[in-house]
Structure 1
Amino acid sequence: MDLLNFAISQVEYVLGNNPMEMNYLFGYGNKYPQYVHHRGASIPVDATTGCEDGFKWLNSTNPNQNLAIGALVGGPSKMRLV
């Protein structure tokens, strides 16, 4: 039973029962990370880009262009929390 309770607590933490009251499942709920370090989420669909070109979107102050719905992020960045 202890393992089940621990597993449930981890799922609840990921889904928003944490100090930031933010879930870490991208695109789920009202408050989720907006700056996911993920090439597919950051770069516009119609962009023509090479290996080095992605940094302009990675370093952008704008939220991600695309939603990677269902992606589980590793946690908040010290630079951008929401």
Structure 2
Amino acid sequence: MSTPYRCPNCKTNKTRFNMIEQISHAVKINPESGEIVESFNDHDAGPFHLPYNGPEYRIQCAACGLIEDEKTFAKFGESHY
């Protein structure tokens, strides 16, 4: 977070944001009940379970509520600063 942010939606907020840390948990659920049948760690989920590879953080504009990847707010902040 060493670059300026700016909300691409409301275009006025440059100072108030919520950082949302994304933590994934690999699970296998029962398709009928939705109950968790099995929980895996990152390394033994098996060959049919892809590991999470999304962004580590998401950012929410504290003025309008838009939630996007951190890169979106950073790019808009760099180009409109």
Give the TM-score taking structure 2 as reference length: 0.22
> Relative CO higher for 1 or 2, CA cutoff 8 Å, sep ≥ 6?
2
Higher-Rg structure is 2
